[in-house]
Amino acid sequence: MEMFSRLVHVLPCKLEYLNLHFNYQIRKNVWEVFLKNLKHIFIKKLLFKINNLFDDILPYIKEYIMKEQRTEYLAIEGRIETQIVTMTDELKEFESYNIKVKEYNNLYIKAYDKFIDEMY
């Protein structure tokens, strides 16, 4: 958890891609602190793969990422709920802030595919 909290402090002010994948649940207050600190960083493609319920993370993403327009593309995949892209009301709300919500696998960069393509 401590490493998760410190991550924001070592990131540059602009990123092309950030994929955060968590195999365990994160407390709501930790999400809030992390995303509040992340609001100073623009991330072109922001991906989350989480074990939390969307209700645990969405209010903070809306407050600190969406309303601050800190990303261009967003994908969230959960263990319990599948994808944010299937939530029509949420999708419209993010789009009203010019944030394109995509399926997780459509934004996910598979490093091994890119490596193989470059080799041949």
Task: Give the chain's residues under pLDDT 70.
Answer: 1, 4, 53, 80-82, 112-120
Rounded (10°) CA dihedral 75, 78, 84, 90: -120
User: What is the model's pLDDT at position 95?
Assistant: 94
User: What is the model's pLDDT at position 87?
Assistant: 76
Whole-number Å distance between alpha carbons of 110 and 104: 12
User: What is the model's pLDDT at position 117?
Assistant: 61
Cβ atoms of 67 and 39 closer than 8 Å: no
